Amino acid sequence: MTDLWRLSAADLAARIASKQVSAREAATSALARLDAVNPRINAVIDHRPDDVLRQADRVDAAIAKGESVGPLAGVPITVKVNVDQAGFATTNGLKLQRDTIATVNNPVVDNLLKAGAVILGRTNTPAVSYRWFTSNLIHGTTRNPRDPGITPGGSSGGAGSATAAGIGHIGHGTDIAGSVRYPAYACGIHGLRPTVGRIPAFNTALPERPIGPQISAVSGPLARTIADIRLALAAMAARDVRDVWWMPVPLEGPPLPRRVALCVNPDGLNPVPEVMAAVVDAAGRLERAGWIVEEIKDTPPLQEAALLQTRLWLGDGYEAQLALAEKEGDPGALACLRGNRAKVFPFDLSQTLTRRATLTRDWLLFLEKYPVVLMPVSGELPFADQLDRKDEASFTRVWHAQLTQIAIPFFGLPALTVSTGLVDRIPVGVQLVSQRFREDLCLAAGEAIEAGGTPPSPIDPVG
């Protein structure tokens, strides 16, 4: 029982459904793992053991009655602290929201529960989920279990750190500029940013989001295997009419050629040699699995898309966001907003959305020829922790390296981080991008890359 936390979500769900182990045993194992390692990484910032065991007991009772329990039967998972979970504070890393207690669940939380999952705890995020580093003034700093000197990523850094360390089998995250894909990359696991409209989400406890986040922010899973990403996506994507952008699109699309465009240096990213080597290695894995890989010099524009996505994300209501950050006093949030002021202010929504249509069309036409694109997640290996706050040059360096993460959400496209190895003990991986609602293509290519080897996980925290 003590090693149940090591299993994949798919394996554990099958054992629970077949009564080889109970959901309570799985929950007890997960809670013990949390107690053992969370003090060293501060990934989970709120959890209630009695409630976790009650959830597990309900799963066991349903199984005993022969009732359907869902594909995640009894699997302990974590949810990010920026989504509503009834009875818990939706802090989004803010002291100012410590009393914002949700009365109903976000649709993504409801969907996980309907699939039989047991919510183990809530994971940390930077203030307002602004950064690729995870620290704030209410919950503290989250550490990377592979190396405490590097960032666990952000904004879903708690989810990445927890999942890599074996606290829960799947982590829920959100992504508007890499916040699922980068923690997966930094922590040496996998993470899927689905198409806008695939996974329903809505926070009743918070004001309606501006149009930028509505058309580019998504919820998505982080996990230690691609099979678990696939399982989590199916569970999270169930219908919920509270999300006005949700679309009833099948999870599997029509067959397409297994053709991949390999782009090592998209739109002037200029990645470091270790990143380029990882992308080339992943291309070789795909070729050995029977995929047609064609190297291209460049993709459609990303630099402009990244600038406009930053504008959509931070520019709409910029002064109000800055006032909130100043009131909170969070240095990371202030660095993000002040460092990007020249990019986003003044804000012209009509002009930004008009240009979005043109650039998105370019990408959609490109993806008609190449159903999958293989590229870097980041221009660098995972950063030293808090690098963006070191000085102006470091801030600029961080934002440039994250080009592909920022740009892809501007088009509403799905993208998958696949962890492929370690450079010493620093994780490295690659990013797969595909057509809208073709997460299945990303996952199929991801499985071929994963078969060539990934960093060991779960792991005991280092340092």
3-state helix, strand, coil in the chain (%, to 5): 45, 15, 40
Q: What is the DSSP letter of 315?
A: I
Tokens of 347: 């804000």
Q: Is the dihedral of CA 79, 453, 259, 374 positive or negative?
A: positive
CB-based contact 140:157 (threshold 8 Å) = no
For residue 89, give every residue at least 6 positions away whose Cβ sits within 8 Å of its Cβ, in sequence order, or none: 46, 81, 97, 98, 99, 100, 101, 102
CB-based contact 71:12 (threshold 8 Å) = no
22, 29, 161, 179: the active-site residue: 179
3-state secondary structure of 93: coil
22, 155, 161, 219: the active-site residue: 155
Spatial CA neighbour of 217 closest among 236, 245, 187? 245
**Neighbour tally for 354: CB within 10 Å:** 10
For residues 13 and 421, give the distance between their C-alpha atoms in angstroms, rounded to a whole number.
27
Answer whether the bond into residue 8 is a cis peptide, omega within 30°: no
22, 29, 80, 135: the active-site residue: 80
CB-based contact 120:9 (threshold 8 Å) = no
Q: Which amino acid is at 10?
A: A
The CA-atom distances, in angstroms, between 404 and each of 1, 263, 333, 382 are: 42, 11, 21, 14
CB-based contact 398:289 (threshold 8 Å) = no
3-state secondary structure of 135: strand
Residue burial 437-463, b: 16+ Cβ < 10 Å; e: rest = bbbbbbbbbbbbbbebebbebbbebee
Residue 155: active-site member: yes
For residues 405 and 411, give the distance between their C-alpha atoms in angstroms, rounded to a whole number.
11
Residue 80: active-site member: yes
CB-based contact 390:440 (threshold 8 Å) = no
Residue 95: active-site member: no
Catalytically active residues are 80, 155, 179
